[in-house]
Amino acid sequence: MLALKPRTKKLIGVLFLLVWLPVYALLAMRVGVALLPDAGSVLTFLYYAITGTAWVVPVGLMLPWMHREPKRR
């Protein structure tokens, strides 16, 4: 398998973030508007609190990959 240089990994990570965050935010808003029009304020708050922090999971999985040094043979 091709070992990527750290600089290349960071570029891929930045591009991923620039695409992922707006797409995720728009999707979370669309789902919230579609599913919660008559929901109470507590349920709406919980939905947006959870979805507002859930974007961290894929980013948190990607960051160690970005900073991992390529294995030497």
| pLDDT score at 73 | 63
What are the pLDDT digits (tens) for 22-73? 999 999 999 999 999 999 999 999 999 999 999 999 999 999 988 888 776 6
Residue 39, in any domain of the structure? yes
> Hey, how many other C-beta atoms are within 10 angstroms of the C-beta on 31?
12
Residue 37, in any domain of the structure? yes
Q: What mean pLDDT do residues 2-16 have?
A: 90
Residue 72, in any domain of the structure? no
Residue 40, in any domain of the structure? yes
Q: In total, how many domains does the chain have?
A: 1
Residue 14, in any domain of the structure? no
pTM assigned to the model? 0.80
Residue 31, in any domain of the structure? yes
Residue 67, in any domain of the structure? no
| pLDDT score at 51 | 96
| pLDDT score at 35 | 93
Domain, as residue range, for 33: 22-55
- Dihedral-angle region of residue 3 (phi above 0 means left; psi in -120 to 50 means alpha; beta otherwise): beta
